[in-house]
A and B are shown apart, each in its own frame.
Chain A
Amino acid sequence: MTGRIRAWTLGACGLGAALIGWWLLSLALAGGGGVISRLPPPFAVGAKLIAYARTDLAADLLASLKVFAAGWVAGVILATIAGVMLGRVRTLGRIFLPLVEAIRPVSSIAWVPLSIVWFGFGFTSKMFLVGLAVFLVVIVYAVDGSTRIAPELSRTAAMLGMNAWQRFRNLVLPGVLSEVFIGSRVSLMTGWGTVIVAELVAADAGLGAHLIGVQQSYDVAAVVAAMICFGASGFVMNALFSAVEARLMPWRQPAGQDE
């Protein structure tokens, strides 16, 4: 228990030190010296954050989350279906998996200009980008989950005389779904990052559009405030999903918490 208190105190000290360092740095750079033209002090950012929260934050956040949720759900579902098909049907897998591997290094960020040419500046183009980003992450997990089935389990299934559908329902599907679940968590941050870039480039709605708007009026404090909104919403999504994951799959240690 004392170890816990120590960890909390030290953590709070670390955060406090970082904030004080930021404040001192902003004082030192206030005259406009150095490479960084302007660094707003923490209070100014806090004030902007409150002002933003009172006005458009909810609407912007909702617009961004809508794009994200639509793309993420579509990406996960399509990747699961495609992954199972490529993983279970050998020939399909041998034909199309190299194709997937060839597309994967072209991150969805590189698709932004093309997607704007195809779908214009709007909901569809951003949803396409998020869906693509999520798809390319999750399909790896889905293929992996559908090909890696413990041999003793499939021997048992053969011994019990299960037919193809029963085998799929009881052996393949649970394995695939648990892998897809992990892939979905990994893809949360990928998808959220894609939303940011898509909104920065095609700035018509959402947090990213707000970010570009305040950037173009040289309001540095508001830029930092918008960045904090992005970080906080990413953090909340990740925490929620990890909590659900711990609930559904208690045997699995979520990555990053094994200290």
Chain B
Amino acid sequence: MADDTAATAAGTMRKAGVGRAVPGSRVLLPLAGIAFACAIWQLTVVVYDLPVIVLPPPWAVATSLSELVRSAAFWRDVGVSLFEFVCGYALGTIAGIAVGALMAESRFFRMTATPVIESLRFIVPFAWIPLTVLWFGTSYTGKILLVAYAVFFVMTVSTARSVMHVDPTLTRVGTMLGMSRIELALRVHLRAAAPAIASAARAAAAVGWIAVVAAEYVGASAGLGVLITNAATSLQTGHVLAGMVVIGLIGAGVSGLIRRLSRSRLDY
């Protein structure tokens, strides 16, 4: 995850340098890329004479998207998926930060909990989907717990790591000022690790959002995952692609929101 942010940072730096040399190229070239991709897409459809079921042309997907946006059922699906995601995400983040901080602060707890966490961590959330369907049916509870599970492990592991990597000088300063262990944990360690925890929260959001969609494939009555599987079984490929665009937009939007929040609050 840290590598990912580094890559983004490197990318922005390079792009900024290029933008200064040729003004406007930062907007124009990506637009050219998207236009190029759409052109290839359209050409493939025309040249191979693909039926709409296999690959609808770009404008058909745009039409499907505008149809979807105008229907109430679509907004209900988006609402259900977002509701499951937000509840599960909040639950998983809070629990993950708490357990991660505890693991970093207490050697005893860390040694006891690490094998349990490590062995559960490898049972990826997707493998839990059939079990949550058996336990909770198609209700929201199963999906909320699944998202919480997915988010929890990302948050625990990275919170523990970043709290343990807090500059030891800060701990010494806190001890000198007569802080208790709890005060030190809450007011010094978590504070100092907050930017790293925030970037983990961004990675966790991506994982959690995908877990919602995957869980909805297997057992759900509403949601974006249901929307695209239903569209696929009724061979409305345009709706499938439009649904994928919406899933991507929401995923990117959530990640951008968290980045903006952490930049404005944790700029140190």
A residues with CB within 8 A of B:
6-7, 10-15, 17-18, 35-38, 90-91, 94-99, 102-103, 105-107, 109-114, 116-118, 140-141, 143-144, 147-148, 182, 186, 189, 192-193, 196-197, 200-201, 211-212, 215, 218, 220, 223-224, 226-228, 230-232, 234-235, 238, 256, 258-259
Report if A148-B231 is in contact (Cβ < 8 Å); known contacts: A102-B248, A105-B255: no
Contact in complex: B30, A95 (CB < 8 Å): yes
Q: How far is the CA of A107 from the CA of B205 in the complex (A)?
A: 12
Cβ–Cβ < 8 Å partners of A226 in chain B: 127
Cβ–Cβ < 8 Å partners of B129 in chain A: 197, 200
Cβ–Cβ < 8 Å partners of B141 in chain A: 35
Q: How far is the CA of A90 from the CA of B127 in the complex (A)?
A: 41
Report if A107-B30 is in contact (Cβ < 8 Å); known contacts: A114-B232, A140-B7: no
Cβ–Cβ < 8 Å partners of A147 in chain B: 10, 14
Q: How far is the CA of A117 from the CA of B28 in the complex (A)?
A: 34
The total of chain B residues at the interface (CB under 8 A) is 71
Contact of A99 among B18, B34, B128, B157 (CB under 8 A): B34
Q: How far is the CA of A96 from the CA of B218 in the complex (A)?
A: 34
Q: How far is the CA of A90 from the CA of B124 in the complex (A)?
A: 38
Q: Is residue B11 within 8 Å, beta carbon to beta carbon, of the partner chain?
A: yes
Cβ–Cβ < 8 Å partners of B229 in chain A: 113, 201
Closest CB in chain A relative to B5 CB, distance in Å = 11
Q: How far is the CA of A168 from the CA of B243 in the complex (A)?
A: 42
Closest CB in chain A relative to B220 CB, distance in Å = 13
Cβ–Cβ < 8 Å partners of B111 in chain A: 6-7, 10-11, 14
Determine the main DSSP class of B at the interface with A.
helix
Cβ–Cβ < 8 Å partners of A118 in chain B: 54-55
Kindly identify, within residues 116 to 168 of chain B, every residue whose CB is under 8 Å from any CB belonging to chain A.
116, 119-120, 122-131, 133-136, 141, 157, 161, 164
Q: How far is the CA of A222 from the CA of B103 in the complex (A)?
A: 32
Contact in complex: B11, A197 (CB < 8 Å): no
Contact in complex: A201, B218 (CB < 8 Å): yes
Cβ–Cβ < 8 Å partners of A111 in chain B: 244
Closest CB in chain B relative to A96 CB, distance in Å = 5
The interface bits of chain B over 198-227 (1 if a CB of A lies within 8 angstroms of the residue's CB, else 0) are 000000001000100110011000000000
- Given known contacts A7-B111, A11-B111, A144-B6, what 8 new A-B pairs fall within 8 Å (CB)? A17-B112, A110-B247, A113-B232, A144-B10, A197-B129, A220-B131, A231-B122, A235-B119
Cβ–Cβ < 8 Å partners of B115 in chain A: 11-12, 14-15
Contact in complex: A223, B6 (CB < 8 Å): no
Contact in complex: A105, B232 (CB < 8 Å): no
Cβ–Cβ < 8 Å partners of B97 in chain A: none
Q: How far is the CA of A230 from the CA of B216 in the complex (A)?
A: 20
Q: How far is the CA of A123 from the CA of B144 in the complex (A)?
A: 31
Closest CB in chain B relative to A120 CB, distance in Å = 12
Across the A-B interface, give the 5 residue pairs with the lowest CB-CB distance, nearest first.
A113-B232, A98-B30, A106-B248, A231-B123, A14-B112
Cβ–Cβ < 8 Å partners of A97 in chain B: 11, 30
The interface bits of chain B over 229-268 (1 if a CB of A lies within 8 angstroms of the residue's CB, else 0) are 1011001010011011101110110010000000000000
Q: Is residue B46 within 8 Å, beta carbon to beta carbon, of the partner chain?
A: no
Report if A182-B3 is in contact (Cβ < 8 Å); known contacts: A11-B114, A106-B247: yes
Cβ–Cβ < 8 Å partners of A105 in chain B: 206, 248-249, 251-252, 255
Cβ–Cβ < 8 Å partners of A189 in chain B: 124
Contact in complex: A220, B134 (CB < 8 Å): yes
Q: Is residue B228 within 8 Å, beta carbon to beta carbon, of the partner chain?
A: yes
Contact in complex: A10, B112 (CB < 8 Å): yes
Q: How far is the CA of A143 from the CA of B6 in the complex (A)?
A: 12
Cβ–Cβ < 8 Å partners of A99 in chain B: 30, 33-34, 37
Q: How far is the CA of A189 from the CA of B214 in the complex (A)?
A: 16
A-B contact pairs, 19 of them (CB 8 A): A7-B111, A10-B108, A99-B34, A103-B248, A107-B251, A111-B244, A114-B228, A114-B240, A116-B232, A117-B237, A140-B4, A144-B7, A189-B124, A201-B218, A215-B130, A215-B134, A223-B130, A238-B122, A259-B110
Complex: chain A residue closest to B227, CB-CB:
A113
Q: How far is the CA of A109 from the CA of B208 in the complex (A)?
A: 12
The interface bits of chain B over 26-43 (1 if a CB of A lies within 8 angstroms of the residue's CB, else 0) are 000110111011000000
Cβ–Cβ < 8 Å partners of B18 in chain A: 90, 94
Report if A223-B214 is in contact (Cβ < 8 Å); known contacts: A35-B141, A95-B36, A143-B7: no
